[in-house]
């Protein structure tokens, strides 16, 4: 149980502000009334203690997958970053002078994910699962290399990024007031 605040109130408050964020109760409150109340307040899932760790991981992964699928509905074909425009369907980056830089499918997928989730930190795990379809998260510098490439493409000064930020211990964030 949470000290000084009720989890049901927290869930209700979150739902009022954001209907799409996944909410999971992990609680010692295990009566049917508690479970029903939590679900009525907007929880997507309700797991009581003690719990099986594998079950928790599977439930969390399912919530993440469902929340990411909702982002697929946000369809757009192009996006402007600074003086450059990304065309997602043709895998092209149009520079200010009209020259074209070809983008790989993975670059395009990662750009689209970060732009769809702009101004939010996106974990390395979410990126690996969404873009590379990894179920296991190996230690890889692949994402780091893509972010470095994006900084070269889009940042006025790649060493002082304005758009593509590393969030230590979490992942990456694309920042834009677009």
Are the C-beta atoms of residues 175 and 167 closer than 8 Å to each other?
no
Beta partners for residue 54, in sequence order: none
**In a shared domain, residues 113 and 138:** yes
- The whole-number pLDDT of residue 69 equals 59
**In a shared domain, residues 65 and 99:** no
Rounded average pLDDT over 101-115:
93
Catalogue the E-assigned strands of the chain. Answer: 24-27, 45-48, 78-81, 84-87, 92-94, 100-102, 121-123, 164-167, 171-174
pTM equals 0.58
Q: What is the pLDDT of residues 14-45, one digit of tens each?
A: 877 766 788 999 999 999 999 998 888 888 89
- Apex 28 CA angle, 26 and 29, nearest 5: 100
CATH of the domain at 33: 3.40.50.2300
Domain residues for 147? 78-174
Are the C-beta atoms of residues 42 and 23 closer than 8 Å to each other?
yes
**In a shared domain, residues 103 and 164:** yes
Task: Answer with the one of 71, 98, 117 that is the final residue of a domain.
Answer: 71
Alpha helices per DSSP H over 42-139: 53-71, 105-116, 124-131
**In a shared domain, residues 82 and 169:** yes
**In a shared domain, residues 64 and 121:** no
Task: Answer with the one of 21, 49, 71 that is the final residue of a domain.
Answer: 71
Binned at pLDDT 50, 70 and 90, residue 72 comes out as very low
Buried b (16+ CB within 10 A) or exposed e, 123-141: ebebbbbbbeeeeeeeeee
β-strands 92-94, 45-48 pairing: unpaired
Rounded average pLDDT over 158-165:
96
**In a shared domain, residues 140 and 157:** yes
- Apex 153 CA angle, 176 and 71, nearest 5: 45
**In a shared domain, residues 89 and 148:** yes
Rounded average pLDDT over 49-53:
93
- The whole-number pLDDT of residue 155 equals 95
Rounded average pLDDT over 46-67:
89
C-alpha distances (whole Å) from 97 to each of 24, 88, 101, 102, 119 are 49, 19, 11, 15, 28
In angstroms, the CA 57 to CA 46 distance is: 13
């Amino acid at each position: 149980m949470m000290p000084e605040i009720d989890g049901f109130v927290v869930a209700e408050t979150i739902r009022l502000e954001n209907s799409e964020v996944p909410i999971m109760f992990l609680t010692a409150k295990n009566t049917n009334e508690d479970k029903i109340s939590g679900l009525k307040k907007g929880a997507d899932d309700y797991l009581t203690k003690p719990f099986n760790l594998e079950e928790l991981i599977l439930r969390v992964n399912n919530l993440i997958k469902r929340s990411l699928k909702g982002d697929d509905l946000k369809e757009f074909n192009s996006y402007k970053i600074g003086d450059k425009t990304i065309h997602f369907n043709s895998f092209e980056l149009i520079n200010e002078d009209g020259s074209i830089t070809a983008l790989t499918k993975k670059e395009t997928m990662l750009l689209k994910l970060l732009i769809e989730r702009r101004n939010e930190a996106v974990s390395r795990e979410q990126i690996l699962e969404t873009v590379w379809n990894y179920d296991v998260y190996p230690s890889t510098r692949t994402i780091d290399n893509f972010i470095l490439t994006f900084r070269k493409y889009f940042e006025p000064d790649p060493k002082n990024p304005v758009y593509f930020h590393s969030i230590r211990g979490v992942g990456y964030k694309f920042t834009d007031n677009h």
